[in-house]
Amino acid sequence: MSQKHKAGVTLMEVMAVVAIMGILSGLGVAGLRSAVANARIKDAAYNVTAFMERAANDARRLNTPLCVKRDGENKLVIYKSVCTATQNAEKIDELKLDSPTKLINSTVASAKFKDAENKDLTNWYDNGADFTPRVGLSAAPSAGYYAVQYGGQGLYGAALKSKTKNSFEPMMKFDEGSWSKL
């Protein structure tokens, strides 16, 4: 008697394929989450930088002092005033960061910047940044930064203004690595 082979797969073969697909999709989801987080922190750094440049341009265009001040964890506001007198000042514009990205203060060691003399630059988190019109120069403060963090992760972004540059620079940092320009 001859034995016929049936076409098909065994239960073990199906389980092996399902297990491999599960492992590959798990790796893909982790990679996708990381890519989304990286894109969001870069976006936040670019947005804060552009917002600060806008404040400098508006101060020159309006020929009046402006202040960019934090309003909560994830919003910056441009006031038509110096930062010490924003109580009843006119709001010109605002930037709201997408959650879970938030502004961070200088108590986060990962968000500190130093100048050429190794002194800490001002983090504008608490007191804001004053923009004063000056003939032929940017109205931006001479040095300082706003820093952002993506959720509770070690992903950081910043809009940095140093004394040696006449504009803001977007910066990014992963975990305990060093800051890099975007």
- For residue 108, what pLDDT is reported? 59
If we measure between CA atoms, which residue out of 33, 49, 37 comes closest to residue 174?
37
CA 50 – CA 99 distance, rounded (Å): 19
CA 55 – CA 66 distance, rounded (Å): 7
- For residue 168, what pLDDT is reported? 93
91's CB contacts (< 8 A; 6+ apart) are 77, 78, 79, 80
Q: What percent of the chain has pLDDT over 90?
A: 49
Which range, of 54-68, 83-97, 130-144, averages the lowest pLDDT? 130-144
Across 23-45, average pLDDT: 84
- CATH tag for 12-181 (out of 1.10.1370.30, 3.40.50.2000, 3.55.40.10, 3.10.150.10): 3.55.40.10
Paired residues of 77 in beta bridges: 69, 94
Mean of all residue pLDDT scores within the chain: 87
Across 153-179, average pLDDT: 87
Is the pLDDT assigned to residue 1 strictly greater than 70? Answer: no
- For residue 162, what pLDDT is reported? 87
Domain ranges of the chain: 12-181
Across 69-98, average pLDDT: 94
Is the pLDDT assigned to residue 68 strictly greater than 90? Answer: yes
Over residues 105-160, the pLDDT tens digits come to 865 556 678 777 778 888 999 999 999 998 888 888 889 999 999 988 888 999 99
Could you tell me if residue 38 is left (phi over 0), alpha (psi between -120 and 50 degrees) or otherwise beta?
Answer: alpha
155's CB contacts (< 8 A; 6+ apart) are 37, 38, 41, 149, 172, 173, 174, 175
